[in-house]
Structures are given as structure tokens and as C-alpha cells.
A and B are shown apart, each in its own frame.
Chain A
């Protein structure tokens, strides 16, 4: 074996090791993010009945709207999974296609959330109205902000897959973005189970 190929092997080995530690670091980040969300859930549960004689959760929540948002996020988790499968098969075109579908579903979710928020604020149920609404907008808004960052991440990764191809670092980044995206869907399970479903009962 010549010296250059040995050096290349060593380099690739080092690269894999460094990417593995980044994947572990990203997992640690997700766990800390889960703790932030858990505490926002706790504040919401404590404040959810404090509507200060203003609109209550029954007045402002629309379950069919929530069902639509849930469907969009769940489908986007599946399509991201299909992009991951295409990545493991090395099908660049398929990866980009599924990422575009995921992007569209993510944007649809954000649009629905914007409509919901602006409708509530228009009805006089903005975050300044009561403790219940402050906690609601903080919790659901933080999740929406995460989805917005995920959408930006998908745009960046579509660009990277198209320009760089499915190289080892690109695969690792796409894998980490997938973890983030699936994690956001898990947080959404908590939101509809803690906020919306008990809110309309």
C-alpha cells in the first residue's frame, strides 16, 4: 500500500470518528431540548385554567384544525424516513424528491399554525391576554420555531445533496436533521395530548 492511500484511509477513519462524535453531541442536544419542552409543558399545565375571565381553551381551540396539523407532521415524518431509505440506497434524485415533499408538508404545517395564531390574536386571544394564553403561545410557538429551523435545515440539505452529492459528511448531516425532524413530531404528540385534546373537553 502506498503512503498516499494509507493517509487517505487514515483521513477517512478520522472523519468517521469525528462525525460519530457529532452525532452523539446532537443526541445530547436533543435530550436537553426535550427537557426545555417538558418544562414548558409543566408551565402550561399549571397555567392552563388561568384564563383571567378572558377566552378559555374551549373558545379558542378547533380540533379539526389540530387534526390537520397532526396529519401534516406525521406524513412529513414518513416522507423524511423515505428520504433516509433513499439515502441508504445512494439514490440522490429520490433523496431530493422526498426532501421536497417533506419541505412542502413542513411549510403547510407552519402555514396552518400561522393561520391559527393570527386568528386567535384577531379574536383578542393574544399572548398578553391571560396566563393560559401566554403559556400556550410560549409552548406551541417554541415548537413552531423549531419546525421553522427544521424547514431551513431541509432547504440547506437539499442544496448540499444537489451540489456535493451523498458524501459521508452530507449523509451524517442528513441523518442528524432526520433525528431533529422526528424529535419535533414526538414533541407534537405531547402538544395535542396535553394542550388541544384536554383543552376542548
Chain B
């Protein structure tokens, strides 16, 4: 019991440090105007996706072995729905915007 608690404490702390780093990078870039143009958006997007994964793994303890398969299935299903609905909406609206110019 003690050992597993120790391991979880280090899990939470690792997750916290990674999350702080992945938050600090985009904030520093925008604040200090260290980068300009589309590259900033890519860095922000990559840092955000990585941080979501960090939160899922270290705080929500998502694990391909121990998490029930149904939970992973629903997470995947939600991701597909979000991809279709958000991607589709943005595609249509950007296209419309482009044609109205």
C-alpha cells in the first residue's frame, strides 16, 4: 500500500512538472514575442495536445492495460465525434468565409 502511494505521488508530481513546462513554453513564446507567424500556432497546438495527454496519463491515470476497455472505447468515440463535428464545422465555415471575400 505504502509503495503504491509513493508511486502515485511521484506520478502526480511528474505530471505537474510536465504540465507546468508545457504551459510555460506557449506563454513565454507569446509573452516575449520570441516567435512570429504561423509557427507560434503550431507550437501552441502541439504543447496543448501534449499537455492533454499528460493530464490523461498522470492525473486521470489512463493506461492501456489497467483502464477498462469500455472507458477507452468511449474516449476514442468522443474523439472521433469531436473530430467530425469540429473539423466539419470549421471546414464549412472557413470555406464559406473564403467564398464571401
Contacts and interface: CB of A to CB of B under 8 A. Distances in A.
A189 B51 contact: yes
A201 B48 contact: no
Interface residues of B, number: 43
Interface in B1-31: 1-2, 4-5, 8-9, 12-13, 15-16, 19-20, 23, 26-27, 30-31
A74 B59 CA distance: 11
A70 B78 contact: no
In order of increasing CB-CB distance, the 9 nearest A-B pairs are: A193-B48, A31-B78, A81-B12, A38-B82, A182-B59, A42-B86, A42-B89, A46-B93, A78-B16
B52 A38 contact: no
A88 interface: yes
Contact of A74 (B1, B2, B19, B70): B19
A186 interface: yes
A35 B12 contact: no
Contacts, number: 104
A102 interface: no
Interface of A: 24, 27-28, 31-32, 34-35, 38-39, 41-43, 45-46, 63, 67, 70, 74, 77-78, 81-82, 84-85, 88-89, 179, 182-183, 185-186, 189-190, 192-194, 197-198, 200-201
Contacts of A77: 16, 19, 55, 59
Interface of B: 1-2, 4-5, 8-9, 12-13, 15-16, 19-20, 23, 26-27, 30-31, 40-41, 44-45, 47-48, 51-52, 55-56, 59-60, 68, 70-71, 74-75, 77-78, 81-82, 85-86, 89-90, 93
